Amino acid sequence: MMTRRESLLPLLFGTGCVGLRALATGLPAGFLLNPRRALAGGAPVTCTAPDKAQFIVFNTSGNGDPINANVPGTYLDPRVVHSADPTMAPTPLSLLGQSYTAAAPWSTLPQNVLDRTCFWHLMTNTPVHPKEPDVLKLMGSVYAGEMLPSLLAKQLAPCLGTIQAQPICLGASSPSESLSFTGTALPIIPPLALKATLTNAPGPLTNLQPLRDQTLAQLYDLYKSRATTAQRAYIDSMVLSQQQVRNINQNLLNALASIKDNTVTSQILAALTLIQMKITPVLSIHIPFGGDNHRDIGLATENTQTVSGVAAIGSLMQQLASAGLSDAVTFVSLNVFGRNIGTGNTDGRQHNPNHQVSLSVGKPFRGTVIGGITPVQNDYGALAIDAKTGAGSASGNIKAVDTLASFGKTMLAAVGVDPGIISSQISSGQTVTAALAS
């Protein structure tokens, strides 16, 4: 019988483990899959704007976390119920020079991160936990029932030259948080499973140098007889030296060996490792931000998990900077729904189908607040949005019910997807240009 490790290797590295050979040589996976066609000038890869392409760390939760209870845009109305805990005190912060108020943890993010952080006030139009897959499909707005993470991955894979287009789910805490790709459910690969697959000796990462030499030897005759002088120069510029491969090998092994569990810290480390290996454009994780807090006395869980959740985002951004990836990776979050923030919600919060807050943090975005809140019965919901200014307004040209689809369209626009493709893939909403850095 095939072991779990044997079953995961093709999933991570493709048929024949072409991804490992790409990692070991520096040559693109597409070239290694069909070098004759590549040298003959085969069909070009379609990529609208490679300079805008980003890897995506996609945080999603079916719990309906109360992120919407403490972010910029919710402190203008004194009737909104915020936590009274000192760790969540209303605190000023700046987004690209514009002043806002938010719970104290958000102000701890470095200014250069805040200036790339966009807070989205959206309506998911559901109060039901198992509807998380539907929210990821933008409540029926995506063509053929594709999920937003998978739609992003499909469009980004050719630009980034990743081994596969399918996203990888690292942190699903419930079945509703798992992903699908073209209608097929994708497996969940927690960090410990990734570590066990890649680091056990003899493991795939312990044999990169021999694999490099073997792969180059197999390509030698074709390279010598078929490649033009210009093609040889291009290929030579990409091929990694044995020392470079040795460094990659050791760095990846060290990172994976430090994984001790499946916590947020480990999920982030696993995501960064897979990004550096160019496995997939999109990796999903789960950062708790308060959870299903119906009976959260004194909002204690909301307080502690908001502090730790913001710290996790800060840690991700610091690690990206250390790896030289700050301009290459964007963080995105999307919840199934938000929480009630009206009067009476001091010892727990109920489901709110009318207001949820998402985040997008990265080079393609400008620090700002998109949308806002408005009273809905005895609670609050998301306002309509002006697509050009991003302001929440009753007269906004994006209706509240279309804000979720507009979020999806803007995510695609941010990473360079052609407007015609965006319109064909998401049937409602508009791109919110005010959220984009350029």
Q: What's the rounded Cα separation, in Å, for the pair 298 and 71?
A: 18
pTM of the predicted model, to two decimals? 0.92
Tens-digit pLDDT profile for residues 72-126:
999 999 999 999 999 999 999 999 999 999 999 999 999 999 999 999 999 999 9
Tens-digit pLDDT profile for residues 369-390:
999 999 998 899 999 999 999 9
Is residue 2 predicted with pLDDT exceeding 50?
no
Q: What's the rounded Cα separation, in Å, for the pair 306 and 295?
A: 17
In order of their start, the domains of the chain are: 1-43+199-261 (no CATH), 53-190+262-435 (3.40.720)
Residue type, 397: N
Query: At 98, which helix (H) or strand (E)?
Result: strand 98-103
Contacts of 202 (CB under 8 A, 6+ apart): none
Task: Give residue 424's pLDDT band: very low, low, confident or very high (50, 70, 90).
Answer: very high
**Cβ atoms < 10 Å from Cβ of 3:** 10
The pLDDT of residue 23: 87
What is the DSSP annotation of 102-122? EEHHHHTS-HHHHTTEEEEEE
